[in-house]
Every structure is written in structure tokens, then in C-alpha cells.
Structure 1
């Protein structure tokens, strides 16, 4: 077997180099990688380097964490997988010892080893990767490998909607209709939201939001936006506002659209300082950050398998592994023509 890995040589430049095939530890499986989704954090990493730069300037930086493939080899203590199984993975490896892990909130483990970020910056853009069996999941026969790769962003949307609490009959606004915003659209619809308003500046993404369940869509550049949104959700604003764009302007906009005693769910990764006008929210508004997911993969896989959750139609551009550089350049320069890019390391189904 030959193995290679795509690494970030410098911001804006990916290279593919030869590396050894990893040997799975006793509790790990070796996975032949099929499809890898391109996340917004990957695009940011390609342009600027990781959100959290490594302490060692010589650290090798990999990208990609939305991944599925086929089991190639198993460690001696692994009993629930066999060679040839189709699988996807949770890309974070928690410590299993801290108070957060022990409480079941392993997503906020301070020592989690998450792919393409600290501490090891190991990316999924490789032919073979080793991963703990307890963070690996079987794919049902009716799910494709690419659907398996997109379980990861779907789980983010599901976790965000669940953290918002009871949404039955509630009116929600989703700021941003990139991949995570679209996953949140579907999650809030499944949880019974009565109105789902989506705001973005890209027509292709707004159109997809409408297809997936948004009841109203608006261009974020509209000067009368707040009034138009409140005409849909009510004069006091929305029960819940999800910020999924990861931008300071949308974070500020959320405060204009949430009602008294409502909730703002910050799902996007917002860089820098975000000023908060507390006069706008000092009517018992709750601001809740959302970080990845925890214990959400089984239900996410089940919903995709049953057809309740559509991830496949979002994957609208595929790239060969050898064209990884082109894939990231396209993702940066063609956002109006792209919803979700996927890098096909190997065609496995």
C-alpha cells in the first residue's frame, strides 16, 4: 500500500507528499479514505493558516476532518469492525478523563485531539488514516461514502438545534446559509419550528435553503431587512436566532432580530472581538455558544439513512485528490457557485 498526505506548505499552497501507512494501535482501525468534505475552517486554514496556530513553526499542517471510507485493517482489541466495513468517523479524540468528558460533554474536552487543528494538526486528506474504533461508526448499506463524510457537518446542525431547546411551533432566524446554516435549517424543521427565516448574501445558498425547508429567505444587504424579517416572525422578533456565518456583522444583526427572552445561538466561529450592545438584549435574552457536537453521530446517521435529512444535494462540486490545490482555490474564489465541495481521495462506491 502506498500512502500520501496533503499538507499546507504555506497559506495558499497545498502539496501532496509520500508518508508511511500508519499502523493501527490495538484500539484503532485503519481506514482507506474515500471522500473528504471541505469545511469553512479548512478554507480559512488554507488562506490564513489554522485558527489556532501551532506553537512549533515547523509543525506539519493537515486539512480536512469530514471523512468516510472503508476499514482496511483492525487493531487486536477491536471487535465491532471488520475489514471492508464502510465507516465514518468523529474527528475528535477526547481524553476520556476530565470532568467534561466524564459528564458526557467530550466536545469541550480541553485536551481533545481534533483533526486539522491542535495539538497534532493531522488532516483527513490522506489515503490511509488510523482512528480509534470508539469514534468510528458503521454506515448503513443505503448510505454512500460521501453521505458518510457529511455526517460531521450535519451533526453540528443537529447539536445546535438541540441546544436551543424546544423548537416546536417556534419562529427562528438563521444567519448564514453555508453548509452549517443549511444543516441547521433541516434540524430546526425536523424539531418543529413553524417559521424558518434564512438570511444570506449569496443567491445560490438562499435558493438551497428554500429547497431544504426555509419558509422565508432574505438578502442580508437589504436596507429594510429587520422590518421585513419581523413582518414574518412577529413585531418583537424571533424566538431563536442562529448565527452560523461566523462573522461580526451577523453576530450584531442577531441582537436586532431576537425577541425579548429569546435565544441567540452562536454556531459560527467568529474571529476577533465582537462588541455586544447590552441595551438591545437586557430583556432576559440568552446568548449560547455551540461547539461541534457530542453523542450526536448515531442519530445523525439514522436520520440521513431514513431520508429525513438531506446532505447529498449540498455536495455540488467534486474534486480529485490530486487536484487538492485547485479544490481550495475554487472554494475561496467561487463561493457564489459552490455550496459544498468534496475531495474524492478514492472512489469507493
Structure 2
């Protein structure tokens, strides 16, 4: 079987080159890749290189970790899958030995091998890849391949919702309505939030947030924004504020919008130092970072398959695999015309 891989030749330039087809180990499956979602971290990697640069400057950098495909071959000891099964993958492979893994929090495993980042920087933009059986999941017949690829960002939103605890009747503000913000909108709605206010600067994303369950939307450039939001959530602010944009200004805004004894959840990846004025939140406000997901894939798949969680309508731009360079350029330059891009390595449904 011929195999190719899309790699980051240098920031701003993706190339596709031939590579060997991997052979599955005993507990691995070989997957023919179908659809791959373009994550914000992929776009950052395309523009600037990985968030965590490799130690070896000659390291090959792959991109993409939101993936679904079809099982092409199974390792000798695989029992859960057979050739032809439609699957998606959880892209992080933990060690299963450290204290965090043993406690069930494998998402924070110190040596997790997460796709498109350290230590191997292996991306999903390839024709064939191998993956451990226990981090591979069968897709229900009613789910499309695109929905399978978008299980990964949906799981981020569901994990973020769960990290806030009881949301029934609570008032929530979500800063940022990119893919993860929109997934968080749906998760908090399903968990019973009474008010879901979304703030962004792109109207197409705000409109989608409203469609998916936001009760109020605001342009982040409006004057007196904090006061306007508090007219919706109450004079003291929101019970829970999610930062999903991965930006210092929105992280600072969260301090203005959270109520006393409320919670701020940092879901976005914020580079650099973020000043925190603790005088503004020294009324027993909790700040919690959220990192990926753990043990959330089965419920996420079930919720998408049931129709309760909509990921399909978010995928509004598709690119062929050979147009990977164009896909990333479009993602960088056309954010007002894009919610979620998907690269079709192979059309499998």
C-alpha cells in the first residue's frame, strides 16, 4: 500500500511526501485515514511551529490529531476490532504507569505521546497510521466519518463542562466561539445551564453559538461590554466563566465577569504570561485549567450518535488532502468565513 504524509517543511509551508506504510504492533490497528479536522493548534503550528518546539531541529513535524478512518489491518493480539471497522481515535497515548494515569487522569500524564506534538510529532495527515487498540473507538453506523473526526474537540467541550461541576440553573459566560467554545456551549446547555452568554469578535461564530444554544451573544469590541453582560447574568457576574479563545485579553476579561465564589475555567491554550489582578477575585473565586479530556470519548460518541450533540453543522469547509497547503492558508486568512475546516484524506463514507 502506498503511503504519504503531510509535513510542516517550515512555518507556513506544508508538503506531502511518500513514506513507509507502518506495520501494526501486537496491540495496534492500522487505520486508513478518512477525515481530519483542522484544530486551532494545527493552525498555530502551521504559522509558527509547534507550541512546544522539538529538541532536534531536524525533527519531522506532522499536523492533525482529529481523525476518523477505517481499520485496514489488526495486530496479532487485537480483539476489539476487525478489518473494515469504522473508527475514531483518542490521539494521546499515555504511559499507564505514572500516578496520574493510575488515578484515571491520564490526560496529564507527563510522558503522554500526543499526536502532532512531543515527543514524536506524528500527525494524522497521512494515508495510513497505526494506533493502540485501547485508544481506538468504534463508530456507530449512524455517525458519519466527519462526526467521528470531530469527537476529539467535542470531548474537550464535554470535559470542560464537567470540570465546572454542577451547572444546573447556573449562569455561564464563554469567551470565544471557535470550535472549542462552540463545543462548550453545547456541553453546558446539556448540563442544564440557565444562561449561556458567548463573546467573540467574529459574527459568523457568534451566529453559530446562538444556533447551538447560547442565550445571548456579544461582540467583544462593544463599549461597556462587562456592564452589558451583567445585565444578562446578574449584577455580580456569572457563576462560571470559560476562557476558550486562548488569548490574554479574554483571560483578563474573565476576572471582570466572574461573580464572588464563582469559577473561571481556562480551556484555551494561552501563550506567555497572563497578569492576574488577584484583588479583583479575592472573594473565593476558583481558577481551574482544563487540559484535553480523560475517559470522555465513549459518552461523547454516544451523545453525537444520539443527535443531542451537533458537530456536523460546524464543519463548513472541506479540503482535499492534496490541497493541505491551501487548507491551512485558508484557515489562517479567512476566519470570518470559517468555523471548522476538515481535510478529506480519503472519502470513506
TM-score by length of structure 1 reads 1.00
C-alpha distance in structure 2 between counterparts of 1:5 and 1:245, whole Å: 29
SS in structure 1 of the partner of residue 283 of structure 2 = coil
Q: 1:241-288 deviations in whole A, cap 9, x for unaligned?
A: 000000000000000000000000000000000000001100000000
Q: 1:210-255 deviations in whole A, cap 9, x for unaligned?
A: 0000000000001111010000000000000000000000000000
SS in structure 2 of the partner of residue 232 of structure 1 = helix
Q: Give 2:276's aligned residue.
A: 276
C-alpha distance in structure 1 between counterparts of 2:340 and 2:263, whole Å: 28
Superposed displacement of residue 140, structure 1: 0.2
Q: Give 1:264's aligned residue.
A: 264
C-alpha distance in structure 2 between counterparts of 1:197 and 1:154, whole Å: 19
Q: Give 1:177's aligned residue.
A: 177
C-alpha distance in structure 2 between counterparts of 1:32 and 1:175, whole Å: 36
Q: Give 1:255's aligned residue.
A: 255
Runs of 4+ in 1 over 2 A off after TM superposition: none
Q: Give 1:34's aligned residue.
A: 34
SS in structure 2 of the partner of residue 107 of structure 1 = helix
SS in structure 2 of the partner of residue 174 of structure 1 = strand
Q: Give 1:8's aligned residue.
A: 8
C-alpha distance in structure 2 between counterparts of 1:2 and 1:219, whole Å: 48
Q: Give 2:113's aligned residue.
A: 113
C-alpha distance in structure 2 between counterparts of 1:194 and 1:112, whole Å: 37
Q: Give 1:221's aligned residue.
A: 221
C-alpha distance in structure 1 between counterparts of 2:185 and 2:163, whole Å: 14
SS in structure 2 of the partner of residue 131 of structure 1 = strand
SS in structure 2 of the partner of residue 52 of structure 1 = coil
Q: Give 2:86's aligned residue.
A: 86
C-alpha distance in structure 2 between counterparts of 1:210 and 1:146, whole Å: 22
Q: Give 1:231's aligned residue.
A: 231
Q: Give 2:325's aligned residue.
A: 325
The aligned length equals: 349
Structure 2 residue runs of 5 or longer lacking an equivalent are none
C-alpha distance in structure 2 between counterparts of 1:79 and 1:221, whole Å: 54
Counterparts of 1:295-334 in structure 2, within 5 Å, are 295-334=295-334
Q: 1:131-176 deviations in whole A, cap 9, x for unaligned?
A: 0000000000000001000000000000000000000000000000
Superposed displacement of residue 319, structure 1: 0.1
Q: 1:16-44 deviations in whole A, cap 9, x for unaligned?
A: 00000000000000000000000000000
Structure 1 residue runs of 5 or longer lacking an equivalent are none
Superposed displacement of residue 122, structure 1: 0.2
Q: Give 1:50's aligned residue.
A: 50
Superposed displacement of residue 307, structure 1: 0.3
